[in-house]
Amino acid sequence: MLKSILYIVSGILFGLFVAALIWVSARAPSGQSVTLRPVPTEAPIVVQIAGAVPRPGVYALPRGARVQDAVSAAGGFLAEANKGKVNLARRVEDGERIEIPFGEDASLVIPTDEVDTANTSNADLVNINTASLFELDALPGIGPALAQRIIDYREENGDFLDITEIMDVSGIGPALFERLEDLITVDE
C-alpha cells in the first residue's frame, strides 16, 4: 500500500510539474517587443534613355548600373541603332540622359542639352507636316513610337495648321511642346 501511495503522490507531482511547464510556456511574454527594421537598401538612380530603343523613357536602375542595363530596360536596341557609337560598359549616373544614335550618321541625333534654339533659322526647323519618321525622331523627347503617332495623326486629320496642334497627338503635352516649339514649323 505504501508503494501505491508513493505512485499516486509521484503521479500528482509529475502532473503538477507538467502543468507548470505548460503554464510558463503558454503565458504572454513580458517586456517590450522588438521590431526589426528592413535591411537598408540604396535608393535607385533614375536615367532617361532616348533614341534608337523601342521604349524610350525614364527608368529607375540600381546604383552601379551600366549603359547596357539602361538599354535592356528600354527594350534593347532597334535594328537601326548605331551600336558601335555606344559604350555599353560605362556606368550611368543619376539624372543622366543616354542618347542611342540611329544609323551610321550619329550627328543627326541631337542631344537635348546641345540644342541652341536661339540660333535656329527657318531652314533648320522640322516641318511637322512633311517630316519623315527619322526627322521627327531626331527631335528632343520624341522617340520612334511618338514620331509614328505624329505621322498617323497628320494622315488621319490632315496637315497641322499651327505648331500648337501637335499637342493634340497623344503623348505630347505642354512640357514637351515647350521643348519643341522653337524647333518645329508648319510653314513650307
Q: What is the pLDDT of residue 14?
A: 93
- Mean pLDDT over residues 142-160, rounded? 90
Q: What is the pLDDT of residue 110?
A: 40
Common-topology check for domains 45-106 and 110-185: no
Q: Is there a contact between 183 and 139 (Cβ–Cβ < 8 Å)?
A: yes
Q: What is the pLDDT of residue 138?
A: 83
Beta-bridge partner residues of 126: 184
Cell representation of residue 90: 560605362
Give tens-digit pLDDT for 12-31. Answer: 999 999 988 888 777 776 77
Q: Is there a contact between 172 and 154 (Cβ–Cβ < 8 Å)?
A: no
110-185 maps to which CATH number?
Answer: 1.10.150.320
Cell representation of residue 59: 527608368
CATH topology of domain 45-106: Ubiquitin-like (UB roll) (3.10.20)
Location of C-alpha cell 521643348? 179
Domain ranges across the chain: 45-106, 110-185
Residue 97: strand, helix, or coil:
strand
